[in-house]
Structure 1
């Protein structure tokens, strides 16, 4: 099976604006439609992969997406998720901080993919 790679770099795009369809929802749908998609988290988006508690509600809005819950769903659906150590370091995430189970440390090799998309 030929796989595709989605790269997400921006870890925050506005809460209320993305409450109905955030970027990880798009990754989930592309994975379903294409029959396989891998995800590379870069920039501040690497914080999605940190094994921490759920994101709490903001100022009376309780329909906001939880990126860690979305990432757990993607992992359960077979999406391979990678994070580069350099981006973890740049975001201030120490090397001993646990990542969500299934997330791989290390940069994805773009040459392994049929196409690479920045979302």
Structure 2
């Protein structure tokens, strides 16, 4: 059973799309980026939380003025979030989006 899209064309059969080698490569590329980055970020965040909870002397060490190691680590959380986001955008633009666009064109019957 197929349904029609807003363009009036029938939707492709999802199992065929899902099982296609191109779609599986796209998913694999996505997972190869997302899983390691997620693990890295969670480890970095866990380090921050553990240091804040168990290494009070280290985290309260003053670097200069009222700037402490804990403040630097806390601000580093924001910096790392933006860096990972920027890296993902760069990666998606070069690896994911072209593959997804090719699959979309193939499904919609458009020539590249």
- More helix per residue: 1 or 2? 2
Greater strand content: 1
TM-score range (shorter-chain normalised) is under 0.3
- Tell me the TM-score normalized by structure 2: 0.25
**Relative CO higher for 1 or 2, CA cutoff 8 Å, sep ≥ 6?**
1
Bigger CA radius of gyration: 2
